[in-house]
Amino acid sequence: MKIVTAGIILIGDELLSGRTQDTNLGTIAKWLAPLGVEVGEARIIADDADVISRTVRAFSDRFDYVFTTGGIGPTHDDITADCIAAAFGVGISERDDAMTELRTRYAEDELNAARRRMARIPDGASLIKNPVSQAPGFQTKNVFTMAGVPSIMKSMLADIGHRIEGGAKVYSRTVEAPNVGEGDAAKPLSDIEKKFEGVSIGSYPFFNAGLHGVNFVARGRDAAVLDEVEKDLKTLVKTIGNL
Amino acid sequence: MKIVTAGIILIGDELLSGRTQDTNLGTIAKWLAPLGVEVGEARIIADDADVISRTVRAFSDRFDYVFTTGGIGPTHDDITADCIAAAFGVGISERDDAMTELRTRYAEDELNAARRRMARIPDGASLIKNPVSQAPGFQTKNVFTMAGVPSIMKSMLADIGHRIEGGAKVYSRTVEAPNVGEGDAAKPLSDIEKKFEGVSIGSYPFFNAGLHGVNFVARGRDAAVLDEVEKDLKTLVKTIGNL
């Protein structure tokens, strides 16, 4: 089955300064997994028109799907729509269908020039519904442009799912190994990974409130194989752990 | 004064799958700000040797400093050290100084092949102390390679600060505008930004427990100018807010 990938572009100076903690990457990745789409890379970029356009263009060529978040509001720092148009060399203008969406929220006298900016959509794009605050996102070729505010971004995904043609799903199995040192598990863990083709095993140490240990996470596209891997991992934990 | 920038590379499949929520970007960015270093871009990349090497190489050329997190533990998926060596075309081997660090934590019979992997350091690199779990990070040219576990990563920054030659600091002023609609503030906000050279103003809507509004964040390298901007922003909020 086909492997389908996505690239995610998180746009905003506030993410790079540390003022705002991104959560959109995780939300999108977890939403994509059951659709059979794996996130290949994510970039967090500044509110810089050239960088946005270049990144969108490169990701559109490299991944099956691209998701952008941020920069589609009414203020001067909301430049994403223009950058998407520039990336694909198409025009951009205020669109009637987008104005119709805005009118479900705003009275006519509230629709000043700033708010009407949110109806500016690149030529040829289709809208993405925004049930939270109505200003729409949009799809240009394989690029989905969404809001940055997490609750709004999440609400837009409902109007994107049916546009995604997924491939082989990635399944995962997590086996917790309390009191196990990563270094003691490393060799047998690597042996297990080698034994099963198409399976990758990650090893993630944890330190919580006096507890420490490792989570082993096996990922792969064949659920039956992963069941076997899980058995081996559990045996490994019993063998080396102080259980 | 010189503008000094950093690129941040967050390495790990678990970040892209949404299993782990990154917090290292924010920690590093907030730690760099008072040193006079601004984060220009961050990338979240998979445990893929080619991608890691290429990204490190590109960021090393593009930014004054580069920080990587993740992939320096004892298991098979810990490939960052090798990728850094490959990126710079240098060798890599087990180093005595790194073994000395490991010996402060591990008894001789615990230092199996897996744990000794953590003493493999690219040629010419200098170590970065790890007061939490001893396995060191390292600096290769302008690239600082650190652990992925947040508490360990944070502890390594203490041994990096003195190696950073910062430039002009970026200051920020935040003015909260409760009950203000972004669209009503957009035009005067843009006017304020245009009035002050070298100042960028971001507008970040918030929705918390029934409260909504916008935070205006002005950023720039001249604190005195920012004081003026802050005054203008407060006047703006009074003018348009329902206060």
Among B144, B163, B182, the domain boundary falls at B163
Verify that A126 and A222 share a domain, yes or no: no
The pLDDT value given to residue B242: 57
pLDDT at B87: 98
Distance CA B101, CA B118 (A): 10
CA triple B98-B104-B108, angle to 5 deg: 85
d(CA B119, CA B130) in angstroms, rounded, equals 12
Query: What is the ipTM for the molecules in this complex?
Result: 0.95
* Extended strands (E) in B116-170: 120-122, 126-128, 137-140, 143-146
CA dihedral (A59, A65, A68, A73) positive or negative: positive
Residue B42 has pLDDT above 90, yes or no: yes
| 3-state helix/strand/coil string of chain A | CCCCEEEEEEECHHHHCCCCCCCHHHHHHHHHHHHCCEEEEEEEECCCHHHHHHHHHHHHHHCCEEEEECCCCCCCCCCHHHHHHHHHCCCEEECHHHHHHHHCCCCHHHCCHHHHHCCEEECCCEEECCCCCCCCEEEECCEEEECCCHHHHHHHHCCCHHHCCCCCCCEEEEEEEECCCHHHHHHHHHHHHHHCCCEEEEEEEEEECCEEEEEEEEEECCHHHHHHHHHHHHHHHHHHCCC
B180 or A116: which leads in pLDDT:
A116
Selecting from B17, B20, B205 the residue whose C-beta is nearest the C-beta of A39 gives B17
Chain B CB within 8 Å of residue A208 CB:
no
B173: contact with A, CB 8 A cutoff? no
pLDDT band at B212 (very low <50, low <70, confident <90, very high): confident
Cβ pair B183:A46 closer than 8 A: no
Considering the domain architecture, whether residues B36 and B148 belong to the same structural domain is answered as yes
Tell me: do A195 and A99 sit in the same domain: no
Provide the CATH number for the domain around residue A148: 3.40.980.10
From the CA of B88, how many Å to the nearest CA of chain A? 22
Report pLDDT digits (tens) over A68-109: 999 999 999 999 999 999 999 999 999 999 999 999 999 999
Please report the pLDDT score of residue B206 as a whole number.
Answer: 85
Q: For residue B236, what are the domain limits?
A: 171-240
Q: Are B72 and B80 in contact (CB under 8 A)?
A: yes
- The pLDDT averaged over each successive group of 10 residues in chain A (243 residues) is 96 96 98 97 98 98 98 95 98 98 96 96 98 97 97 97 96 93 93 95 85 92 96 94 59
In chain B, where does DSSP find H-type helix? 13-16, 24-32, 49-62, 80-88, 96-103, 113-117, 150-157, 182-195, 223-240
Where residue A226 sits, what CATH number does that domain have?
A: 3.30.70.2860
Interface touch B200/A43, C-beta < 8 Å: no
Residues B44-74 pLDDT 10s: 999 999 999 999 999 999 999 999 999 999 9
Q: Is the same domain home to B71 and B12?
A: yes
Say yes or no: B159 and B115 in one domain. yes
Q: What mean pLDDT value characterizes chain B?
A: 95
Encode pLDDT of B85-108 as tens digits: 999 999 999 999 999 999 999 999
Q: Which two tokens stand for residue A132?
A: 């939270």
Domain count for chain A: 2
Q: Chain A neighbours among B 32-61 (CB < 8 Å)?
A: 33, 38-47, 51
Residues in chain B within 8 Å Cβ distance of A14: 202, 204, 217
Cross-chain residue pair A149–B207, CB shorter than 8 Å:
yes
Q: Cα(first)–Cα(last) distance of chain B, in Å?
A: 40
- Looking at A146, A163, A180, which one is the last position of a domain? A163
**Optimal mutation site among B201, B204, B214, interface A, most CBs of chain A within 10 A:** B204
Q: Which residue, of B132, B163, B194, is where some domain finishes?
A: B163
CB B153 within 8 A of CB B69: yes
Does the beta-carbon distance from B40 to A46 stay under 8 Å?
yes
Q: A54 with A136: CB under 8 angstroms?
A: no
Q: What confidence tens digit (pLDDT) does each residue in A33-61 have?
A: 999 999 999 999 999 999 999 999 999 99
Report yes or no: A42 and A27 within 8 Å, Cβ to Cβ. no
pLDDT at A242: 56
Residues A23, A106 within the same domain: yes
Residues of A with Cβ-Cβ distance to B212 under 8 angstroms: none
Q: Please tell me whether residues B141 and B190 are part of one structural domain.
A: no
